[in-house]
Structure 1
Amino acid sequence: MPKAPVQKKCRVHREVSRVSTKAGVKGAKPAGATLAQGLVFNTDLGQHILKNPLVITAMLEKAGLKSTDTVLEVGPGTGNMTTKLLERVKRVVACEIDSRMVAELHKRFLSTALHSKLDIRIGDVLKAELPAFDVCVANLPYQISSPFVFKLLLHRPLFRCAVLMFQKEFAERLVAKPGDKLYCRLTANTQLLAKVDHLMKVGKNNFRPPPKVESSVVRIEPKNPVPDINFSEWDGLLRIIFVRKNKTLSAGFKQTSVLQTLEKNYKTWCSIQEKKIPEDFSIKEKIEDILVNGKFDKKRARQMDQDDILALLHAFNKEGIHFV
């Protein structure tokens, strides 16, 4: 799965019990906000309260839940969304890293009829093996947005859809089109594997205390059947062309580190194919020939759609140039 840069000071959205307007605001300590039940949320860790139940309801409606579904929920908090999920589906697998929140979940559901439908998993969801599920619903810690998206998209068996809340700019990257300012490697990777729709914006005032960023809810539906492509190869190419997405491809492929990697890969391929390499071989010239002959040399990554990128990958692979 592709690695993503860590985003500093990111915010975690948690669904918690509705509180009075004074809770977590008046007299709150810098390190956190205290709810009526005495639970302290550490704002230094990005813990904020989603106080608008209409947002939760809208997210569940957009998920198209069925009574037979198993739902994966990430960051259940004290269980407001969990409650509504349990009322609608067969089973909820709730992944939570904060042991205090786990205790609140147990306290909330232990003596109810819904408890038998709840499976609480404690730990880092990025390190855990995900179970089979039909739908994922989550208010994600923003710092895990990118790796979690790809963990989902590469998960098997395929799930039906995911309805996720992200930082607004991250959501806009997921749905960007070629030529858009925010169109990037994340965009191309996600849209190769899934259909992505922006559902709604969620303003700061829907949380207590308000985060520093706006949020958005996105629906991700994996493509079925899965595209017949080596994803590692595809992403290896994207890593190169999107480093300088506004430059021409010819400029991007002139970096020494890129040339060294591709030359090593090419020699490995030639060895496997028992193909002799000419003494005057130049990887730089070979790459330039491929780009010019395919009329890719003047193209820019920010303007290339999936078909363009697939054609470029095919042109390279045909000549023995690989990206893994």
Structure 2
Amino acid sequence: MAGGKMKKERQRGMESHFQGGIPFYKSKGQHILKNPLLVDTIVQKAGIKSTDTILEIGPGTGNLTKKLLEAGKSVIAVEVDPRMVLELERRFQGTPFHNRLKVIQGDVLKCDLPYFDICVANIPYQISSPLIFKLLDHKHCFRCAVIMFQREFAMRLIAQPGDSLYCRLSVNTQLLARVFHLLKVGRNNFRPPPKVDSSVVRIEPRKPLPLSPDKLKEWDGMLRICFSRKNKTLGAIFKQKKILSLLEKNYKTLQALHPSQNGQEEMDLSMLHDGFEDAVMDADDGKDEDDEMELEGSDMDSMAEAGETGSAFKDKVSGVLKQYDYENKRSSKLSQNEFIHLLSVFNEACIHFA
């Protein structure tokens, strides 16, 4: 009797991982929305127009795809799993939607994305950060992206100064886009259910950006330092010998290359990729940014090679922080505009982060 009961439970567990005869794999982040009311809500909150071309990432078996086709002009669906691609084509073959659906089989992070007006996505959580970067770096301007994220990751995207989840990811994302939390989604709305709850977020790219493209690598370099110990004062962070050594090395290199001006190579949004990636890793492993340095190994090696920092340069950095009242402030409480101003006054003093 007990054996039969256990067998039935195992069978129910297997069935929960199937839809239309296709097994879903948790290891690949395949969690299909099964709640039709939730699907309708996501489409409604996306604000789709009848003339819109919609990019859908991770369409699965097409539950959301059908609603998107009903609302917009056309759907471009990017799906990495060939089984799901076949299911999509089978589902819409011979329907009025067939000619308005284009399916691209491939990894969305490696594909060249076509023109689209709106992106709607229920994605594997492990690609959250690089996907945001890729979308915000898209050469064609789009109106918005409505994306399902792991709830804690979504909360980091919208976190404000003083919030416990406020981090470099928050500041970087909000520099490039306006981010709005739309709704919380419980794990039982998926088949199979993930281990955590989700949230749907609306991302609207900023045009123009608050910073010029040639400043973006420097911006991220400064934030790496500021958020290496986000709850310590900036005065304490910038007194560390290794950080001062790296900055002084940059200072001397730039002075040697451009004795009369501060030369900077042109950079683009791709320079932010590493920053988004590191922030997601912090979110995934549960480590607080105040527990370990976020600077990459190559940066640490460069700092070690720079040797002891001259007291004059140390005074120069400290002087900037004191003059503009940043010495006793903490990154965890600084706004985006304050970070932009901090970068500006450092640059005016010929102190650079790239």
TM-score bracket, normalised by the shorter chain, equals 0.7 to 0.9
Contact 2:54 2:75 in 1 (8 A): yes
Matches within 5 A, 1:95-106: 95-106=78-89
Deviation of the 1:107 alpha carbon: 1.1
The amino acid of 1:27's aligned partner reads: Q
Q: Which residues in structure 2 correspond to 1:150-165 (within 5 Å)? A: 150-165=133-148
Whole-Å Cα distance in 2 between the matches of residues 254 and 124 of structure 1?
43
> What does residue range 186-265 of structure 1 map to in structure 2 within 5 Å?
186-229=169-212, 230-265=215-250
- SS of the residue aligned with 2:71? coil
Q: Which moved more, 1:256-265 or 1:172-181?
A: 256-265
Paired residue type of 2:151: K
The 5 A counterparts of 1:1-324 are 27=11, 33-35=16-18, 37-229=20-212, 230-274=215-259, 282-324=312-354
Q: Distance in 2 between matches of 1:198 and 1:34?
A: 29
- The CA distance in 1 between the partners of 2:254 and 2:201, in whole Å, is 41
Pick closer, same or farther for the CA change 1:103–1:180 going to 2, 3 Å: same
Contact 1:196 1:219 in 2 (8 A): yes
Superposed CA offset, 1:15-64 (max 9, x none): xxxxxxxxx9751567x854353211112333223110111111111111
Shift of residue 144, structure 1, vs aligned partner: 0.9
What secondary structure is seen at the aligned counterpart in 2 of 1:321?
A: coil
Question: Match of 1:6?
Answer: none
User: What is the SS of the residue equivalent to 2:181?
Assistant: strand
Measure, in 2, the Cα distance between the counterparts of 1:121 and 1:262.
45
Judged with a 3 Å threshold, the aligned counterparts in structure 2 of structure 1 residues 36 and 292 are, in CA distance, closer, same or farther, namely: closer
Question: Which structure 2 residue ranges, 5 or more long, are not aligned?
Answer: 1-7, 262-308
The structural deviation recorded for 1:281 is 6.9
Runs of 4+ that moved beyond 4 A: 279-282
Larger deviation: 266-275 or 136-145?
Answer: 266-275
For residue 257 of structure 1, report the CA deviation from its aligned partner: 3.8
CA distances 1:297-322 after superposition (whole Å, capped 9, x unpaired): 11100000012111100011111112
Question: Compared with structure 1, are the counterparts of its residues 300 and 36 closer, same or farther at alpha carbon in structure 2 (3 Å cutoff)?
Answer: closer
Kept in 1: contact 2:28–2:124 (CA 8 A): no
Distance in 2 of aligned mates of 1:164 and 1:233: 28
AA of the residue aligned to 2:57: V
CA distance in structure 1 between the aligned counterparts of 2:20 and 2:161, rounded to whole angstroms: 49
3-state DSSP of counterpart to 2:230: coil
Contact kept? 1:198, 1:216, Cα under 8 Å? yes
CA distance in 2, matches of 1:120, 1:287: 53
Distance 1:248 1:286 in 2: 17
Retained in 2: the 8 A contact 1:33–1:42? no
- One-letter amino acid matched to 2:104: R
What is the one-letter code of the residue matched to 1:132?
Y
User: Scaled by the length of structure 2, what TM-score is found?
Assistant: 0.79
Bigger mean CA deviation after superposition, 265-274 or 159-168: 265-274
1:214 maps to amino acid? D
User: Taking structure 1 as reference, are residues 36 and 323 closer, same or farther at Cα in structure 2, changes over 3 Å only?
Assistant: closer
Distance 1:231 1:302 in 2: 20
Cα deviation, 1:123-172, whole Å, max 9, x if unaligned, reads 11112222221101001111111111122122222210111111111111
Following superposition, the deviation at residue 283 of structure 1 comes to 3.3
Partner of 2:5: none
Q: Go from structure 1 to structure 2 and tell me whether the alpha carbon gap of 1:280 and 1:241 turns closer, same or farther (over 3 Å shift).
A: closer
| Compared CA separation, residues 226 and 252, structure 1 to 2 (3 A) | same
Equivalent position amino acid for 2:331 in 1: A
CA contact (8 A) 1:33 1:43 kept: no
Distance change (3 Å), C-alpha of 1:258 and 1:115: farther
Structure 1 contact 95–125 (Cα < 8 Å) conserved: yes
8 Å Cα contact 1:25/1:33 also seen in 2: no
Instruction: Give the Cα separation in 2 of the matches to 1:169 and 1:34.
Output: 24
2:33–2:63 CA contact under 8 A, matched in 1: no
Q: In the alignment, residue 243 of structure 1 is paired with which amino acid?
A: S
> What TM-score, normalized by structure 1, do the two folds share?
0.86
Instruction: Count how many residue pairs are aligned between Structure 1 and Structure 2.
Output: 298
RMSD: 2.2
Q: What is the Cα deviation at residue 282 of structure 1?
A: 4.2
